[in-house]
Amino acid sequence: MSPPQEQPHPSRRQHAEPEDCLVLSELNPRMVIDHIDDEGQPLHVLTFGTVREICPKCQSGHLKLVLRQSAVRVAHLFCADCASCFDAHYPNGAPALTI
């Protein structure tokens, strides 16, 4: 009996296959977040971790996942550096942010 085969680096993330890559579309922040123009009130929006995708607009940081919540109408990916919002779907058209 031979020993089980091990991956050379099991903890390293494998390169994404083309069908795993996300297609990002910029969203108007006013369409996904309520009260974005309310200067007097701080906006409390929770993010749920950082994703592997880099912001296609500013190319400076990883996007953060924002799920629906009291002030958020649509789940989206958010860039904290340039304050842009993005929808994500797979190349086959299937939505990536739907639970």
Q: Quick one: pLDDT at residue 55?
A: 95
Mean pLDDT for the chain? 80
Q: Quick one: pLDDT at residue 56?
A: 94
Q: Quick one: pLDDT at residue 98?
A: 80
Burial of 26 (0-12, 13-18, 19+ CB in 10 A): middle
Q: Quick one: pLDDT at residue 2?
A: 47
Distance CA 92, CA 3 (A): 39
Q: Quick one: pLDDT at residue 15?
A: 47
Per-residue pLDDT reduced to its tens digit, 15-49: 455 556 899 999 998 888 886 655 656 567 888 99
